[in-house]
Amino acid sequence: MFNLYKRGTLREHFAVIGTSRNKMTDEEFQDAVRKSLGTAKSDKDAEKFISHFAYEAHDVTDKAHYKVLKDRADELDKKFKLEGNRIFYLSLSPNFFGTVAGFLKTEGLTDSQGFNRLVIEKPFGRDYDSAAQLNDALSTAFNEDQVFRIDHYLGKEMIQNIEALRFGNTIVESLWNNRYIDNIQVTLSEKLGVEERASYYDNSGALRDMVQNHIMQIVSLLAMEQPVAFTDVDIRAEKVKALRSLRVYNVADASTNFVRGQYGAGNKQRAYRDEDNVPHDSNNETFVAGKLLFDNYRWSGTPFYIRTGKELADKFTRVDVVFKKPLVDIFAFPQNANAPLEANVLTMFIEPKAGFSLRLNAKTSGQGFQTAPINMDYFVDAAGEKATPEPYERLIHDVMKGDGTNFSSWPEVSYAWKFVDQIRKVWDLQQPAFPNYTPGSMGPAAADELIQRDHREWVYRL
């Protein structure tokens, strides 16, 4: 928010009321805001920014207390001339989302003159049924176009670049189908373990924590058809269509096409089951790899492989688009017998470095005729990195503008749950052989076997 303030996107007409069960004065809350600014707290605009923050201790189940919040909101509305525009940002246990949304409406907080928007932090349910219940509860108080379900991956610069790359380039989009693409690989690899979040994570696991939301969103952007226009309504419509054609697995296919893992002890790393707040017999997965199949004209026969996990070799997020090899390799014989042509690969580096790389085959310099793969690279430079907003900065700005492009709509969330629920159902019936990978690796051997079975390899491997 301070970045938005500095950029002039957020000016004098804003106020924030922080709430939680803890008692705190405005000054104490402002002090917490000041601390969160880090070195920017000495910025000349910092104190003015901080003066826009207020605090109310609040029990979300206490209906009567919403009146106090309303009075405070009305007072700040006048003071900072907010014209009744309100954003309610819920980052709390999903059990309370419905209660809060209901009271915001019945107790009159949404009766203001301006817009009323609801921001929801994940997790949005733990399966399709609970997500649907939650959605029903929200929809008694807010319309779908007022609800902004945050998925911070959609605020990342290079995730947004998927659309630019695909729909801004003839050479990309004209090849973007099962005739030319052999497979697509999405990797969200984390070096960190569960850290202090074990009590949440042990109830969630990598499937719910990363696949149902972030990976499904990335995959839908990669798989969707070209939207009619670059608007939230059109983009969401295409993402939903893509997710509808994702094959929901039966029991047998879910077992063969998905692999789970849990890290054991490494040289310097204790095993997941020995982490604080993790039960010693936990069967929670810290790694998932899988194969996704779309039953549609564009993608039939071209699998999407995905993987994500904690305590892996490195922190990076990337998409590798592997093209089919030329049907005939005219260079293979006789001069070049040892160097068959490699597949072209278009890699989107999402994080930590941002850019694209295209692997082509080219003639090596010199006598004779040998080919070798070369890379054409583009990486965002320091100036570009500086201009890149933080995902949350961008998404909060989008909420203020009322732009839902980079938020997950209910139909997207519901199709993603239906897909993931099937995997979960099968896993819950089977006893995993955990732990099955070492920290610092790229996950269990089964993740390699999953793709090798199809006579393919992960493009990124150790």
Evaluated on CA atoms 402, 407, 412, 417, the torsion sign reads negative
**Is residue 311 a contact point for ligand BG6 (CB under 6 A)?**
no
CA dihedral 172, 175, 180, 184 (to 10 degrees): 40
Residue 264 or 391: the one with the smaller Cβ distance to ligand BG6 is: 391
Tell me the residue nearest to ligand BG6 as measured from the CB: 209
Residue 209 or 398: the one with the smaller Cβ distance to ligand BG6 is: 209
Task: Give residue 396's identity as a one-letter amino acid code.
Answer: I
Q: Look at the block and give the residue holding tokens 């202090």.
A: 196
Nearest to 341 by CA among 372, 374, 375: 372
Compose the 230-259 pattern: x for residues touching ligand BG6 by CB under 6 A, - for all others: ------------------------------
Spatial contact of 55 and 17, defined as CB atoms under 8 Å apart: yes
From candidates 190, 202, 285, 320, binder to ligand BG6 by CB under 6 A: 190
Buried b / exposed e along 217-255 (16+ C-beta atoms within 10 A): bbbbbbbbeebeeeebeebbbbbbbbbebbbebeeebbe
Residue 141 or 194: the one with the smaller Cβ distance to ligand BG6 is: 194
Q: Residue 394 CB, nearest distance to ligand BG6 (Å)? A: 13
Spatial contact of 320 and 307, defined as CB atoms under 8 Å apart: no
User: Hey, which residues between 261 and 300 contact ligand BG6 (CB under 6 A)?
Assistant: none
Q: Residue 249 CB, nearest distance to ligand BG6 (Å)? A: 24
**The two three-digit tokens of residue 232, written as one number:** 């939230």
Q: Residue 266 CB, nearest distance to ligand BG6 (Å)? A: 18
Task: Give residue 366's identity as a one-letter amino acid code.
Answer: G
Q: Residue 95 CB, nearest distance to ligand BG6 (Å)? A: 18
Q: Count of residues binding ligand BG6 (CB under 6 A)?
A: 3
Residue 209 or 285: the one with the smaller Cβ distance to ligand BG6 is: 209
Peptide bond into 435 cis (omega under 30): yes
**Is residue 209 a contact point for ligand BG6 (CB under 6 A)?**
yes
Q: Residue 288 CB, nearest distance to ligand BG6 (Å)? A: 12
Q: Residue 319 CB, nearest distance to ligand BG6 (Å)? A: 14
**The two three-digit tokens of residue 85, written as one number:** 């525009």
Residue 109 or 399: the one with the smaller Cβ distance to ligand BG6 is: 399
Cα distances (angstroms) measured from residue 134 to each of 89, 100, 148, 149, 209: 16, 11, 14, 12, 18
Q: Residue 201 CB, nearest distance to ligand BG6 (Å)? A: 7
Residue 178 or 388: the one with the smaller Cβ distance to ligand BG6 is: 388
Spatial contact of 293 and 246, defined as CB atoms under 8 Å apart: yes
Nearest to 391 by CA among 410, 375, 406: 406
379: left (phi over 0), alpha (psi -120 to 50) or beta: beta
Q: Within 13 A of 168's CA, how many CA atoms are on the CB side? A: 7
User: Hey, which residues between 94 and 153 contact ligand BG6 (CB under 6 A)?
Assistant: none
Spatial contact of 189 and 442, defined as CB atoms under 8 Å apart: yes
| Catalytic residue status for 455 | no
Pairing of strands 287-292, 258-261: antiparallel
Q: Kindly name the residue from 214, 280, 397, 455 that is annotated as catalytic.
A: 214
Q: Residue 193 CB, nearest distance to ligand BG6 (Å)? A: 10
Compose the 314-353 pattern: x for residues touching ligand BG6 by CB under 6 A, - for all others: ---x------------------------------------
Residues 6+ apart with CB under 8 A from 126: 94, 203, 204, 208
Residue 181 or 207: the one with the smaller Cβ distance to ligand BG6 is: 207
Q: Residue 279 CB, nearest distance to ligand BG6 (Å)? A: 19
DSSP 394-410: HHHHHHHHT--TTS--H
Q: Is 460 helix (H, G, I), strand (E, B) or coil?
A: coil
Distance between CA 158 and CA 321 in Å, rounded?
15
Residue 136 or 314: the one with the smaller Cβ distance to ligand BG6 is: 314
Residue 80 or 392: the one with the smaller Cβ distance to ligand BG6 is: 392
Cα distances (angstroms) measured from residue 175 to each of 170, 299, 344: 8, 12, 12
The residues of the shown chain that bind ligand BG6, judged by CB under 6 A, are 190, 209, 317
Which residues are catalytically annotated? Answer: 214
